[in-house]
Amino acid sequence: MSAIYTAGVLARASPNVTHVVVHDVHRTIEKWFSWEFLCHGNMVSSKGKLWSFRIGGEPRSGRFCPD
């Protein structure tokens, strides 16, 4: 779970778009951390146990996900 949080922080610190793939999203904790720190709105695809996110750099934002 710390890897998902770290991926979200690093992706937002980068000026470029970052692609993050999360495995085992059938488990509740991976699903929750992904929604919380990578944001459901950034999800570009899902297949089986894999979710793919595309996160644009937002270095000045203090929040992970918009309302």
Question: In this predicted structure, what is the pLDDT of residue 61?
Answer: 62
In a domain, 67, yes or no: no
Q: Does a structural domain hold residue 20?
A: yes
Q: What is the pLDDT along the chain (67 residues), one digit of tens a residue?
A: 899 999 999 998 888 999 999 999 999 999 999 999 999 999 999 999 999 999 987 666 667 787 6
Number of folded domains in the chain? 1
Q: Domain limits at 37?
A: 2-55
Provide the β-strand partners of residue 20: 53
Task: Indicate whether 62 belongs to any domain.
Answer: no
Q: What is the pLDDT of residue 31?
A: 94
Say what the pLDDT of residue 62 is.
66
* Within-domain flag for 45: yes
pTM listed for this prediction:
0.85
Please check whether residue 66 lies inside any domain of the structure: no
Residue 61 counted as domain residue: no
How many C-beta atoms surround the C-beta of residue 5 within 10 A? 14
Say if CB 52 and CB 45 are below 8 A apart.
Answer: yes
Any domain includes 15: yes
